[in-house]
Amino acid sequence: QVQLVESGGGLVQPGGSLRLSCAASATIFFMGWYRQAPGKQREFVAVIPSGGSTNYADSVKGRFTISRDNAKKTVFLQMNNLSPEDTAVYYCYARPSMATMTYWGQGIQVTVSS
């Protein structure tokens, strides 16, 4: 069993920034983020493998940065220049290498509005 706990969400004005954190109960090879806006399908945001290169959705490239601290078993998502289109529930996920299982956090709300 792996627990993922997100923090750092909230309300921010357009053009502002937020930093999401996801603390895991174990070290998992792949960690990243999805998001889901009301009435829309869940959308991939970013992923970072342990010691590897990052990947981002085209919609967030140049604005979001994913990073991780393996000693703290935590992954971060720095979100800059936010727009209302970024409003969604953000879900942290973790996926072991050589496995099909995926662990999910409960989600955290990010609202971009004036």
CA distance 106 to 8: 13
Percent of the chain with pLDDT over 90: 94
| Span 57-95, pLDDT tens digits | 999 999 999 999 999 999 999 999 999 999 999 999 999
